[in-house]
Structure formats: structure tokens, C-alpha cells
Amino acid sequence: QRVQALVWLFLLCLPGSMARIKVACVGDSVTMGTRCGDGIITYPAHLQTLLGDKFEVRNFGKGGATVQRDGMCRDGKKEICTDKDCAYHKLPQAKESMEWAPDVVTFMFGVNDCNDCNWKGPEKGEEAIVKDYLQLIDDYKSLMSS
């Protein structure tokens, strides 16, 4: 493992002839940057600044998205649940991020999974979120191993 870490560090230090490392930021409105006013940057944009030119960070966030595979959208203005499907794995952003074939993926979900439309109670809710989070991680891991 130390050899792998040293090889990885060496590769990161190579001159710019090497392809940039692709980082996909997937998640809900926290990732997307909903309600970010002028001059406020999203966490993916901030991450790009921190990582520098050897990385390419893209924002694949979608407001209202859930990690739960049966997640429903909530109409914030009317404070009601809708019949619209907000499960991230079914949204265009998921497909786009997977087609981009990232090297690294960050995940930010949970806000919408815990609202009154999707929360299934302390035991079932936690179990559903963990199960579906692990499934989404596996979906991305399978891209990286192929």
C-alpha cells in the first residue's frame, strides 16, 4: 500500500502532459448551489480552487434529489409532497456524471431523504438511506473498475 501511495503521489507530481484527474460532485441542492447568491461559490467550485489545475471538478448536483431509490420531491413553496420522482440515480445528472467517467466522486445527500416526504422513521429511515447510499457508491465503483 505504501508503494501504491508513492506511485500515486509521483503521478500527481508529473508535468501537465498527463490528463487531469476528474472529480464528480454528486448530490442535492447543497452540491448544486441552490440559493447561492452573487459572489457565493458552491462547494464543487471551491473544491476546484483548492485542488488546482491537475484536477477537473464538475458539479452534478440537483436540487431536491434523494439518495433513496424511492425518494419523492417536496414542493417547498406549498410545503407538500409531490408525485415527482427525485431519486438521484434516475435523474439526468446521474447519467451525465457516470458517462463522464470520473476518477473520484464526492457525495452529498441527506437533506431531502430526511424530510417528511421521505423519512421512514428512525430505524427504517436510517436503514433505507444507508442501503441506497451504498448502492449508489457501488454504481460508481463499478464504473471505475471497468
Longest Cα–Cα distance in the chain: 56
Pairing of strands 80-85, 55-61: unpaired
The pTM score is 0.81
Question: Could you report the per-residue pLDDT of 55-82, keeping only the tens digit for each?
Answer: 999 999 999 999 999 988 887 776 788 8
How confident is the model over 22-43, as a mean pLDDT?
A: 84
pLDDT, tens digit, 9 for 90 and up, residues 85-106: 899 999 999 999 999 999 999 9
Residue type, 24: A
The DSSP line for 78-127 is TTEEEEEE-BGGGSHHHHHHHHT--SEEEEE--TTTTSTTT---HHHHHH
Q: Going edge to edge, which strands form the sheet with 104-108?
A: 55-61, 21-27, 104-108
**Contact assessment for residue 28 and residue 62, using Cβ atoms and an 8 Å cutoff:** yes
Grid cell in block for residue 110: 441527506
